[in-house]
Structure 1
Amino acid sequence: GEVSDWENIDNIVNASGVGTELYAVQDNRRLYTLIKGTDLNTNNIYYIDSDNDSNTGYNIEGLWSNAGIDYIVESGKLYQLTGSNVTTDKNLIGDVYTYYTSTAVEMYLNLDQIGKSQPGNMKIACIGKNSIDIPAITESMASISKTIVREALSDTFYPDEYYGVLNNPYMGCAPWAMNPKEVDLGSDYPQTHKLVYAGISWRELEPAKGNFDWDGIEDKYQFDLWEGLGCKINLRIVMDTPSTVDHLDIPDWLYEEINQQGTHYDSSIGKGFSPDYSNNDMISEHQRMIQALADRYKNDPRIAFIQLGSLGHWGEWHCWPYSAADSGPTGTFPTIGVSDQYVQHYIDAFGTSKKLTMRRGYGLAKDNQFGFFNDMFGDLPSLQSNGWGWLWQIQNGYTDDLGNEHPAIPDFWQYGPSGGEFANGDSLRYLTDDTIIGTLDQARVSHTTWLGPCCPAKYSVGIYEQRNIDALVKTIGYRYVIESVTHNKSVDATEILPVTINLNNKGIAPFYSDWKLQLSLADSQGNIVTSVNSKEDIRTLLPGRTTINTEMKIHGNVRSGSYTLCVSIIDPDTGNPGIDLAIDGRRSDGRYALDQVEVNGIHSKTQAQNQNQVTGQDITYYNQAVGIAKELGITMGTEKNCFNPKAPVTRQDAMVLIAKALKAAGKHTYKQ
């Protein structure tokens, strides 16, 4: 995505008259391309003559005269052409890397995807925005001859990057947990997602004072379904949701306790009741309700994030429209002295057990490292307009309509998630060929991690906008690419294997939970024989490249042989790998196989060293076992470098030997 990477690469062709240029270059592993121009989008088709031979491949009618096209790239996917010039078919090979802006479109793929084991001459052409021919179709395809030389480092493995959509936790689309208008109850959404949104009204949560309907809530919002599908829940409490009929979103008992204080409204946004948030009974009852919510869910792994709703329409922290001129008023938003009390209820109840997010950049949000959500995502003026745009206010600080000063929090996304939902109830409006670039730009500038409940999850896979949905999902959140792994090719048992991992987070945000990067060794049957968690805090892996220096202790029970070094990120709730990396080599257990490590086990080290340590008649039988025990520090023998296998042993000595053996095997022992 960095156009500056191409500064020393010459373009290979211009699109006459439109100011659009095509660049292409190879290295020892990949073919890279760049389109530079104006008002670009995702609708680009690339044509590749991989063997540089116009007599092979396909000459598509109306296109370049010297074609011989072997492959095409369309909508972020690579196809091989088969059949004949009359009935040419496309066979899907896989995904390619893409990065889109209005002035530059980058695409690259692996050479082995197009049948090449090394760089070589080939030809390329493309049609950008479904209308710009590069080069003109009356000309010849452009030749690619330049190659960047990259020297491979010794003892270094370079995984192949995975270019497809990843379906990872705590990010991506977050559709309704319960919305029969979008998907049948009991059914999943067509598009990939690992989050859902539950906007729960206080009225349904606590229909009678002190009687919380947890079972009803979890049934209505399909907690069991989503848990079974591996989806976590964004949870928001709402007290005022406009609709087509007059109604209450707070319980009847609370309505009476606050003496019906508030505003019944019928406006352009709908009908409803905005309670008097300054009412002392309302405040104290809210504190009690939020504490009950936290007692139920603060340690529940089914819950991803807690959104601070509570105040304003939809829990969005506003009571717009404000005046009769705007078909209002529709309620009174409280002063900061009151609203801070509501915020503090969440802080006191949840602590740091769940990431808290809210709509506005309040001081308490900064002090407690909240994330933020933008419920008008896609609408550019409401994002960045000076003085009142959602992101502008968070980045710069602002004075609200009541005269309250709020701080600048420009780096909030480094410690709290940035989320939101598409504006106007129509996500596809912001995913067309004309709007997708602006949507991607907004995601990048706000470091978006998740979007919902208004999001494209409900649409059938394969619709025309699919490439734009894919482009968005591959952009937001985190996306970990391991570019290289360096380590010694062999290691002795009981020794430490230093490992250097060069990781590139190609997403636009970090991961916000304290999960552990784990290294492991798999034997020839694929069984994990040893593993160790890195001390690296993956929450610090911001977008861009990071070098991780870690190490792996090889336990003495690992026998001699060749092992596969594996890497994974472990979900602490399950103890299993929980995040998909953007590299090839994924095993069925979620670990990623890297390259080989030769382990020199204890038995091979000691075989030649301990020929004269054992006293007794059966020297051959005891020799290897005793040598291993000595090497592991389990026993030092008797005197004069000897061991007497037939001597009696006390129970105390036996327990010492067992404890040392367990420690050498990497097992826990406990003092009692």
Structure 2
Amino acid sequence: MTRAVRAVLALALALTAVTAAGVPASATPTSTWTPLTYQQAPADNPLKGFMPYAGSYQTFPHSMEWFYLPLRDLMTGPATFDWVPLERRLNAIARRGHHAVFRVYLDYPAKPTGIPQFLLDQGLATHSYPDHGNNGLSVSPDYEDPRLVAALDRFIGALGRRYDGDPRIGFIQVGLVGFWGEWHTWPYDGGTRPENWMASEATQAVVLNRFESAFKRTRLLVRYPSALNKDLHMGYHDDSMAFETLPPTPWHFVQRLIDNGVTEKWRAEPIGGELRPEVQSCIFDAPVSCAQYEDYDESVTRSHASFLLNQAPFEGGGFTGDEWFRAVAGARSLGYELTVTEAALPAAPARGNATVGVRIANRGLAPFYYDWKAELAAVDSAGRVAKRWTVPWTITGIQPGAAPAEMTAQLKLAGLGKGEYDLTLRVVNPLPGGNDLRFANAAQDVHSGLLTLGRLTVG
């Protein structure tokens, strides 16, 4: 069991008895636990589901957008950077109320090189190739050149200093190495060609360790599980989901998880990726019409993926009819689904203070990976918020299939007039205008983000 998995399991155990300022873990005798009704959560809950390439789309529910950027657009010298191209992308996506997921590359077949010009001017050696439709347009760099290694180290450090914890960013994929930033140079890495252009383990370790040290809040993903990253605080992205995912083929994603002993790493670190382009437009047909594919549900269940790049439902007219509904179900099946199973409110009119509680279960495939703040509010009969309380509750790391996490807090009622109020729970998205996190409950208001827990009477 890795250090990261041990940490999140400890957190999950702690969540079963979260309290506020010395309040007992269970509700007081004057409070009553009342079941709340389950109802499916929306498919566009934040930080999960399908996402398109960055752009304005109305054809399919989503909360994130994806893009690539070449390193040469961001790094102008050995220690100078131009963040404008990244800022433009992040701001455009944030204005649409979505989080960004992105990857920076050096080498993208069939696109102009992403290598910073100053490195080429210094004489960095490169390899031309015709594979992957490239025809010599992009070039693979010499990853062992100390000037390139030093540049990558400085770039990652600068990126972390500026963007770690940025509320516009959902996830960052650890790119920079290999074709498309996908950490391979096939067939020039032990494939059908005699050359091996792939970065050495020493260079890979520099990139991986620098990313881990530079990002403490924003969550990271790398393409392949390996001995070099199994104990690092980063997850994985399967860019061939439902195509090269399932065992026992050695290079398939889940088999790599098994072989590297990280099948449980999803409990602490996110899994994402891309639904393989060849199956995006056909895997939700009934019956499936793809020439080659793997079972979607099994691929998602065994990988515990939270989000996938899937352009097909967004472009053109998108999906229609039953195919659209099947795709929505496929998107909804990714990641977390949090539901409040019970809420505890005072059974009699409260004065001065009130002890309240919730029990939250996860019916999804993965936890929620960020520590977003929880807020309670008393809403009067006119629908106005009469008082708010920030409570030290966290939904982070609540595990699928585990017993509901129980959290209680004592609310100070000073300033609330006598009468009845709806007590509501909200998990605050730190992205202004971002999709609300909505619980899988019938009492969830999908527009306001408020989940009604029950009636609070102030005496």
TM-score, normalised via structure 1 length? 0.58
* Alpha-carbon distance in structure 2 between the residues aligned to 1:457 and 1:329: 41
Match of 2:271 among 403, 418, 435: 418
User: Counterpart in 2 of 1:582?
Assistant: 440
* Alpha-carbon distance in structure 1 between the residues aligned to 2:34 and 2:97: 32
Aligned residue runs from structure 1 range 225-624, under 5 A: 225-243=92-110, 247-257=112-122, 259-271=123-135, 272-322=138-188, 326=192, 328=193, 332-350=197-215, 352-380=216-244, 382-397=245-260, 408-435=261-288, 438-452=295-309, 454=311, 456-458=313-315, 460=318, 462-499=320-357, 501-544=358-401, 545-572=403-430, 578-587=436-445, 588-600=447-459
The sequence identity of aligned pairs, in percent, is: 24
**Aligned-partner residue type, residue 599 of structure 1:** V
Q: Classify the secondary structure of the residue corresponding to 1:444.
A: helix
Aligned residue runs from structure 1 range 107-122, under 5 A: none
Greater Rg over alpha carbons, structure:
1
* Alpha-carbon distance in structure 1 between the residues aligned to 2:154 and 2:407: 47
Cα distance, 1:572–1:305 mapped onto 2, change above 3 Å: same
Aligned residue runs from structure 1 range 115-264, under 5 A: 155-163=32-40, 165-177=42-54, 187-207=56-76, 210-219=79-88, 221=89, 223-243=90-110, 247-257=112-122, 259-264=123-128
Shift of 1:330: 7.3
Contact 1:369 1:412 in 2 (8 A): no
**Aligned-partner residue type, residue 392 of structure 2:** K
Cα displacement string for residues 402-438 of structure 1 (whole angstroms, at most 9, x for unaligned residues): xxxxxx2121111111000022454123222234991
**Aligned-partner residue type, residue 174 of structure 1:** M
Contact 2:43 2:62 in 1 (8 A): no
Unaligned runs of 5+ in 1: 1-153, 179-186, 398-407, 601-672
Shift of 1:482: 2.1
The root-mean-square deviation of aligned C-alpha atoms, in Å, is: 2.8
More RCO (CA 8 Å, sep 6+): 2
Contact 1:530 1:554 in 2 (8 A): no
Contact 2:425 2:450 in 1 (8 A): yes
Q: Classify the secondary structure of the residue corresponding to 1:507.
A: coil
**Aligned-partner residue type, residue 592 of structure 1:** L
Cα distance, 1:451–1:332 mapped onto 2, change above 3 Å: same
Shift of 1:494: 1.6
Cα displacement string for residues 324-378 of structure 1 (whole angstroms, at most 9, x for unaligned residues): 984x46751122122101112212322x121111012234533332111001111
Shift of 1:543: 1.2
Contact 2:41 2:438 in 1 (8 A): no
TM-score, normalised via structure 2 length? 0.83
Contact 1:311 1:317 in 2 (8 A): yes
Q: Classify the secondary structure of the residue corresponding to 2:84.
A: helix
User: Counterpart in 2 of 1:613?
Assistant: none
**Aligned-partner residue type, residue 373 of structure 1:** H
**Aligned-partner residue type, residue 305 of structure 1:** F
Shift of 1:491: 3.9
Q: Classify the secondary structure of the residue corresponding to 2:404.
A: strand
* Alpha-carbon distance in structure 1 between the residues aligned to 2:306 and 2:347: 38
**Aligned-partner residue type, residue 361 of structure 1:** P
Unaligned runs of 5+ in 2: 1-30
* Alpha-carbon distance in structure 1 between the residues aligned to 2:247 and 2:263: 13
* Alpha-carbon distance in structure 1 between the residues aligned to 2:322 and 2:303: 26
Cα distance, 1:420–1:266 mapped onto 2, change above 3 Å: same
Cα displacement string for residues 243-265 of structure 1 (whole angstroms, at most 9, x for unaligned residues): 1x7x42212321232x2413111
Cα distance, 1:562–1:226 mapped onto 2, change above 3 Å: same
Contact 1:532 1:552 in 2 (8 A): no
* Alpha-carbon distance in structure 1 between the residues aligned to 2:227 and 2:341: 39
User: Counterpart in 1 of 2:12?
Assistant: none
Q: Classify the secondary structure of the residue corresponding to 1:291.
A: helix
Q: Classify the secondary structure of the residue corresponding to 1:384.
A: coil
